[in-house]
Structure 1
Amino acid sequence: MKVHLRKRRLRKSTKSNISYSLYLDIYYRKGKRKREFLGIYLEPQDTQTIRKEKLQLANNVKAKRMLELTHEEFGLPSKDRLKMNFVDYFKTQMDKKEGNTKMIWRNVYLYLEDYTDGHIPFSNVDKRWLEDFTEFLLTKVSIRSTYTYMTKIKCTLNEAVRDSIILTSPGNLLKPLKVPESSKDYLTIEEIQKIADTPFYNDEVKKAFLFSCFTGLRLCDLRKLKWTDIKETAYNGSGIKYTLTIQQNKTKNYTTVPLSETAYNLIKPKQNNDSLVFQLSKYHVSTQRVLNKLLEAAQISSKHITFHCARHSNAVMLLANGADLMTVKELLGHRDIKSTQIYAKVVNASKDKAVISLPTINL
């Protein structure tokens, strides 16, 4: 990689009155060439001192550009990139998200704007700043939400490392917040049966929720599920006739889920086209409002049930019926086994409760 300072004669020049435009001729290692005009001109009327100052200015720009290009070549951040606005960069990452995930990112963005007045350079986003922003969030939202919001900040910083804006992420220096373990609300098979038996005006939401109970699919994945994602399987003696394969919206990983008889009965007959299996609102709040009415009609009010609880219910049912943790992890598409182990604790608690409730006898 080389950078040369060159001059080009301007068209307005005459034989007795010659003017030049200064520019940088940049040669990259892979044969790419770029010209960068500096807007600095050598005029015939320039004194020797002025001409010397212009050339010095141009050489300063050349040296700066060489340093920046060297940083880029070796994956090091340049000073100009460190001046970039972290809030604007966070917004570019937010705009890539979809659905409920984007709503969470937007909440973080609004708090970030409030805390920084919309601007803070990357060079100022250090460990101390992150600790102060964490404390700010704790005055606004719960510790659990703060934990979630800070993961988005750390995710953005990790992306900035990949984009060679910063060398390392200061988020790695933070002590993780100790978040109290939350209980996972889920439905028992008896409660799921009550929902199935309840007549309801919105058959799409009802079927989609029950389908999630028996497949573990998230609402965002149900919205985009197409008939072409469901394939007939070759008979292998397991009794499974159909499986679905889908790229999870959250993790971007592909997961394959065998369909139980109940799951398939909820959507049969299978259509041979690429239309959507479920016609659901794109708004999470709207879908949850309909689900609340379904739960009310089924007289289930002792639990706080969201659409995501269908996924919890699926995990608990699988474990309670003998599935091992790794199998459940693969079916749910978890990245980390720790996410699956939470459900194992729920099942163990249910076992303890069942044993305690056994009748006693006189010995």
Structure 2
Amino acid sequence: MIIPKTMKIELRSRKHKSGNTTLYLEFYEKGGKRQYESLNLYLIPEKTDNDRRVNEATLKKALKIKSERILGICSKPEGKDVSTPATELSKWMDEYLLHLQKGERYSLAYQKHMRSTVNIVKSYLTHIHRPSLMMDKVDKSFYKNFLTYIKDVYRNMKSPNRPKPLSPKTMLLIQTDVNSMLKYAVEQGVLQKHPFYEQEKRETFVKTPSDRDYLTVEELKRISEVETGSPVTKQTFMFCCFTGLRHSDLLQLYWRDIRETEDGLQVYVQSMQKTKKSAVIPLGRQALEWMPERGTASLDDRVFTHIPLLCNADRALKRMTTKAGIDKSISFHCSRHTFATLILTAGSDIYTTSEMLGHTNIHTTEIYADVVMEKKVDAVNMLNGIF
């Protein structure tokens, strides 16, 4: 990058919610386009004298880089790119997906989910006839109109009931994904500011109280007794209600994963299909009642054979819940919600529950804890009418 003599260079900063302040350089000429360079330097909250000394050293380093840019020395730092808002949004999103692929902390499921969000953003660009929209046009108006698009225009064509509008939960997830992408763009100096924080709260999607359906003990008994033409679905669903396994994990469950310990049989999941995290789950009496007999099966044989496709299992479960007189929208995945709610209600601590579910974030498990607390509050309130 050749820096003209008429170009001004300023050291800028941007404070994040974490409390840290990112430092970056802004290059601009009168009437020209602004360019930005991320320095990968940040100031930390000054709570101690050592924090102050660290910030002074960081600021001195940033000012030194600024001086070098003014003098034309090392105008492009080694291994770093000088990003500019002239980058096309579509191309930048593709680069962001490559960034996720290179990062070890991002699971394949998360990468796949983010690709879906990128495709939705690209469909919006096509909708507004701006497939080559530049990053500097990703502003307050763009963001607001995109949210309107996914709410009122975009339809899920992969749904069995296609075209199907997006659920509030899905729209919130898309908003969260876009926010993550744009946050990274701001940190890299590609965007000057995050358009989400310029929106009115009423214009954005907000988290609603948890609507995760689960089965109570009484409802589980009714499901276990209902007659069905899909006995394997019933068996695998009930087993998952007492182990918390996903449908995808059940497909990869072999007899070698069922191990005898001093405390009884346990399921060892080396790598859950979604989170790639391991888990150890004790097999209680109820779970064992729904587990097949091993017979002559070898260690390399699956525990459950002829497992129905997830979509077929969900349809069978809807028929079963209707027969059992249960007015809830139950899918196969609700078995995990049921397991989490049951063991938390029984007294399991949230950390143990999180480990058995294979959650990578304790906050995900806290959702179930909130559900259990609501049940406890309701139970206590029932006493109000007695005395």
The answer as to 2:237 corresponding to 1:231 is: no
Flag structure 2 segments of 5+ consecutive residues without an equivalent.
1-74, 154-165, 198-203
Shift of 1:314: 0.8
Tell me which of 241, 245, 257 is aligned to 2:281: 257
Tell me which of 182, 202, 206 is aligned to 2:230: 202
Give, as a single letter, the amino acid of the residue that structure 1 aligns with 2:152: T
Tell me which of 85, 98, 101 is aligned to 2:91: 85
Q: How far apart, CA to CA, are the structure 2 residues paired with 1:306 and 1:99? A: 20
Residue identity (%): 25
Contact 2:109–2:274 at 8 Å: present in 1 too?
no
Aligned to 1:75: 80
SS state of the match for residue 244, structure 1? strand
The answer as to 2:266 corresponding to 1:242 is: yes
Q: How far apart, CA to CA, are the structure 2 residues paired with 1:194 and 1:100? A: 36
Give, as a single letter, the amino acid of the residue that structure 1 aligns with 2:344: L
Q: How far apart, CA to CA, are the structure 2 residues paired with 1:275 and 1:155? A: 42
Aligned to 1:136: 149
* Distance of aligned partners of 1:80 and 1:292 in 2 relative to their CA distance in 1, 3 Å threshold: same
* Distance of aligned partners of 1:124 and 1:242 in 2 relative to their CA distance in 1, 3 Å threshold: same
Shift of 1:300: 3.2
* Distance of aligned partners of 1:340 and 1:294 in 2 relative to their CA distance in 1, 3 Å threshold: same
* Distance of aligned partners of 1:254 and 1:123 in 2 relative to their CA distance in 1, 3 Å threshold: same
Flag structure 1 segments of 5+ consecutive residues without an equivalent.
1-68
Tell me which of 106, 122, 135 is aligned to 1:112: 122
Q: How far apart, CA to CA, are the structure 1 residues paired with 2:82 and 2:273? A: 31
Aligned to 1:289: 315
Q: How far apart, CA to CA, are the structure 2 residues paired with 1:172 and 1:105? A: 21
Contact 1:87–1:120 at 8 Å: present in 2 too?
no
Aligned to 2:173: 148
The answer as to 2:306 corresponding to 1:300 is: no
Shift of 1:106: 4.1
Give, as a single letter, the amino acid of the residue that structure 2 aligns with 1:325: I
TM-score (norm 1): 0.63
Aligned to 1:179: 207
Q: How far apart, CA to CA, are the structure 2 residues paired with 1:170 and 1:111? A: 20
Aligned to 2:307: 280
SS state of the match for residue 242, structure 2? helix
Shift of 1:173: 6.2
Shift of 1:160: 8.5
The answer as to 2:221 corresponding to 1:215 is: no
SS state of the match for residue 357, structure 1? helix
1:282-361 alignment, distance < 5 Å? 282=309, 284-297=310-323, 299-358=324-383
Compare 248-257 and 87-96 and name the one that shifted more: 87-96
Q: Deviations over 1:189-240 (max 9, x none)?
A: 1111221222322222111211221111222322333333x231331xxx33
TM-score (norm 2): 0.60
Q: Which has the larger radius of gyration?
A: 1
* Distance of aligned partners of 1:196 and 1:169 in 2 relative to their CA distance in 1, 3 Å threshold: farther
Q: Deviations over 1:114-156 (max 9, x none)?
A: 4335834674574544444234323344543221113333556
* Distance of aligned partners of 1:188 and 1:101 in 2 relative to their CA distance in 1, 3 Å threshold: farther
* Distance of aligned partners of 1:360 and 1:173 in 2 relative to their CA distance in 1, 3 Å threshold: closer
Give, as a single letter, the amino acid of the residue that structure 2 aligns with 1:341: E
Q: How far apart, CA to CA, are the structure 1 residues paired with 2:108 and 2:321? A: 27
Contact 1:127–1:170 at 8 Å: present in 2 too?
no
Contact 1:215–1:257 at 8 Å: present in 2 too?
yes
SS state of the match for residue 261, structure 2? coil
Query: How many matched pairs?
Result: 286
Contact 1:216–1:315 at 8 Å: present in 2 too?
yes
Q: What RMSD in Å do the two structures reach over aligned CA positions?
A: 4.2
